[in-house]
Amino acid sequence: MNRLVVVSNRVTIPSAGAKAGGLAVALNELMERQGGLWFGWSGRASDDAASTSKPAIVDHGSVQYATVDLTHEEYRRYYTDFSNGTLWPLMHSLTEQMHFDRRSLAAYRAVNERLSDILLPLLRPDDAIWIHDYHLLAMPAALRARGVTAPIGFFLHTPFPSPDILSSVPDAAVIIRDLLSADLIGFQTANDAENFAASAHRIAGATRLPGGSLRIAGRDIRVGAFPVEIDPQEFARTAETASHNSDTQRLRRSLDGQSLILGVDRMDPTKGLRHRLAGYRRLLETRPALRRAMTFVQIAAESRQEVDNYQYLREDLDRMSGSINSTFGEADWLPLRLTARGGSRDTIAGYMREARIGLVTPLRDGMNLVAKEYVAAQNPDDPGVLILSKFAGAARQLGAALLVNPVDADEIADALDNALRMSRPERQDRWMALWETIKDTSALGWGRSFVNALADSGESQGGRVQR
């Protein structure tokens, strides 16, 4: 079997004590089982010549973690400006939020090149390389330019836009050609894979082959959908246990019998939070009888505060939530509790089990694992209702949720009303259909399916693949 080399912008080292997020948990298990190297940014900015150029190596079990600092300038240009100010809104088709500066694109490419230079001496001939996400789109080409012949897979965690939207960024063709140096390119949904293939054809001149592959410069590149999964059984156990813990008990007491509507997101412009609050406001305006019977708790964990659009979002949400509470609130009841502080995974799992409604309405989302976690967290005897944006990748699998258009305040208000009144048998039927969809999936299964497909595409390219 090839040694697996994972490359991602953020690297979570278990021994560093950080609580790993969904993706890190998924990859950690895969890595722990088969061993390998995990390379990427340390999460620190520094101007120290040694820590920005020499990787810090930590061994943990059979996994080696190699991380390097970014300089302050790189952090600003590569991470803040281009990755999160240009590519993130572009990938989510929010072009009006997109900033573009040629210097940031140049810095982005330079960081991709620099990371490739640092990774190069750590590579071995038997490696299979798996690169993750929009921060590292230029890395497949950078590695090939340095003579790397190992199989390279790339997985995009965000959506991929249509060719028209993609063309709104200068140099779209270069970005696509860089990516086409990989052997396998994976997306969350078939729609994203199709958008990429259409862009590769129209913008970069690749030939579309039957079966979904692409051909460019005599090489075939496999393109496919690999929807990210969670560990539903494990999350269900966590939620059941957490429903008895002190955090959940305190929340339950504070609700005093009201129905809990719960949103859990990073505070990010793609998550549809402004529209979500507008939908809740519409519910309060149009259904006064519901007012004291419910509380909406929105956890919107602060994120990427260096990016202007994230600061504006914070200001808007503070203003909108203040207005909702001052307009509809009373001395002994507030309709909305908005917090910019995240919670631990256990606490959130307990809250999810408590919630009558999981409100997940991103404007667009690669997958949205919160939606899957909400389903897994429910008590099968008395489950809550998932209200889900039809523009989240998860909606392709979770069709038994109440699907809404996230920009339509009336549709959100109607769905909330419907969910609050829904009979227990209907809630059970819907939940069972959702659970059936996810119950046999796993994060490990997702990782393995990609790695196996990478081995297959490496073989068909005549690359060095060992099983």
Catalytic residue at 365?
Answer: yes
Backbone angles phi, psi at 35, to 5 degrees: 70, 170
Q: Please, which residue, 394 or 455, has the CB nearer to ligand F6P? A: 394
Query: How near is the Cβ of 302 to ligand F6P at its closest, in Å?
Result: 10
77 binds ligand F6P (CB under 6 A): no
Among 10, 60, 314, 464, binds ligand F6P (CB under 6 A): 10
322 binds ligand F6P (CB under 6 A): no
Catalytic residue among 92, 132, 157, 275, which?
Answer: 157
Q: Is 302 in the site for ligand F6P (CB under 6 A)?
A: no
In the annotation, is 275 catalytic? Answer: no
Q: How far is the CB of 256 from ligand F6P (least distance, A)?
A: 34
Candidates 77, 92, 109, 157; binder of ligand F6P (CB under 6 A) is 157
> What's the min distance (Å) between Cβ of 270 and ligand F6P?
9
Q: Which residues contact 89 (CB under 8 A, 6 or more apart)?
A: 95, 97, 98, 269, 270, 309
Number of residues that bind ligand F6P (CB under 6 A): 7
With CB under 6 A as the contact rule, the residue among 4, 23, 360, 454 that binds ligand F6P is 23
Q: Which of 3, 77, 281, 304 binds ligand F6P (CB under 6 A)?
A: 304
If binding is defined by CB under 6 A, does position 21 make contact with ligand F6P? yes
Residue 79 C-beta: closest distance to ligand F6P, Å: 7
Binders in 95-134 for ligand F6P, by CB under 6 A: 133
Residue 372 engages ligand F6P in binding (rule: CB under 6 A): no
C-beta closer to ligand F6P: residue 25 or 172? 25
Q: Is 271 an interacting residue with respect to ligand F6P (CB under 6 A)?
A: no
Looking at the Cβ atoms of 21 and 205, the one nearer to ligand F6P is 21
Q: Residue 282, interface with ligand F6P (CB under 6 A)?
A: no
Residues with catalytic roles: 157, 365
Binding site for ligand F6P (CB under 6 A): 10, 21, 23, 133, 157, 303-304
